[in-house]
Amino acid sequence: MIFSKPVPLAIGIDRCIEQFSTQFSRRDIGNALGHWTKRSSYLRAVARGEQRRNLDGSEAGVPTKEAQEAAQRLLEERNRRRLERIRQRREHTQAETRAAD
């Protein structure tokens, strides 16, 4: 239920997953959670202060202001880098066009 739409996960959810799954190592769980929590859609949910959720979907509090601000900073940095890549590609394309003329 909680992995169908990005919602902030409960603090310590990794330990809950470990209790229910013996087929995955701590490292596997950490890697999967790291991948999930680095998604932009997840970070936007944290930045908005959406309700954290337990494995069963029950409420687990809201992200702290610090967590919200950190998520927002990361999103802004990603956007800045994305815009910079777009600018560089545009300049590169324009330079190639001028060189071909």
Digit-coded pLDDT (tens) for 53-90: 998 889 999 999 999 999 999 999 999 999 999 999 99
Name the pTM for this structure: 0.80
Judged against a pLDDT cut of 90, whether residue 10 lies above it is answered with: yes
Q: Which three-class secondary structure state does DSSP give residue 4?
A: coil
Which fold would CATH assign to domain 13-100? Fertility Inhibition Protein O; Chain: A; Domain 1 (1.10.1710)
Q: What is the pLDDT of residue 70?
A: 97
Residue 92 backbone dihedrals phi, psi, to 5 degrees: -65, -45
Domain ranges of the chain: 13-100
- CA dist., res. 89 & res. 9, Å (int): 36
Confidence of residue 21 (pLDDT cuts 50, 70, 90): confident
